[in-house]
């Protein structure tokens, strides 16, 4: 894994685990510098040093999109839990299970696995398989949305990829 990506994700993870504060963010920065300097096979500290303003802008963009990814996940998790709880506690069933094909032809194997894990973490959705030609991720959903639902399932990985481009 790229040292910069590991650095950004590790810093964000520490910040969210310890609470959203400046102290937690600074602790995450220090912890990731220590981890990267301890394990040079992860890219070393040199991998996180900005070589110019373009690298700094890219790092800020990646950090911003990482935060957006986490907020998007928390939003999806909250909404899907509310919908599921409502369906359990009311006498009528609102679920209409079906399989949905999510296009993933432009993603690497790691990105497809990451997206499949993210989809499976949300209640009401389950990543079932990847097509043999690796162009389609098949997802079982209990509450399919309307038109463009496939794009909304792919939204999390698109948020992260926007920060990398």
Nearest to 60 by CA among 115, 95, 11, 103: 11
pLDDT band at 43 (very low <50, low <70, confident <90, very high): low
The whole-model pTM stands at 0.62
User: CATH: 3.40.50, 3.30.420, 2.30.30, 3.30.70. Which one for 56-164?
Assistant: 3.30.70
User: What is the rounded distance in angstroms from the CA atom of residue 142 to the CA atom of residue 44?
Assistant: 44
pLDDT at 154 over 80: yes
pLDDT band at 44 (very low <50, low <70, confident <90, very high): low
Q: Look at 8 and 145; give whichever has higher pLDDT.
A: 145
Helix, strand, coil percent content, the chain, rounded in steps of 5: 65, 10, 25
Indicate the helix (H) or strand (E) that contains 6.
helix 3-18
Residue ranges of domains in the chain: 1-49, 56-164
CB atoms within 10 A of CB 118: 20
């Amino acid at each position: 894994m790229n040292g910069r990506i590991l650095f950004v994700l590790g810093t964000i993870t520490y910040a969210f685990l310890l609470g959203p504060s400046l102290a937690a963010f600074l602790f995450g920065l220090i912890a990731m510098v220590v981890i990267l300097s301890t394990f040079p096979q992860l890219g070393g500290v040199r991998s996180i040093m900005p070589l110019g303003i373009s690298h700094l802008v890219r790092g800020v963009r990646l950090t911003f999109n990482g935060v957006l990814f986490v907020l998007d996940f928390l939003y999806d998790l909250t909404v899907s839990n509310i919908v599921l709880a409502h369906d359990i506690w009311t006498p009528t069933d609102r679920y209409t299970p079906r399989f949905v094909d999510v296009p993933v032809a432009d993603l690497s194997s790691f990105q497809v696995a990451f997206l499949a894990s993210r989809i499976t973490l949300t209640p009401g959705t389950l990543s079932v398989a990847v097509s043999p030609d690796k162009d389609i991720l098949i997802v079982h959903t209990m509450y399919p949305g309307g038109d463009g639902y496939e794009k909304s399932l792919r939204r999390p990985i698109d948020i992260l990829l926007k920060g990398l481009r």
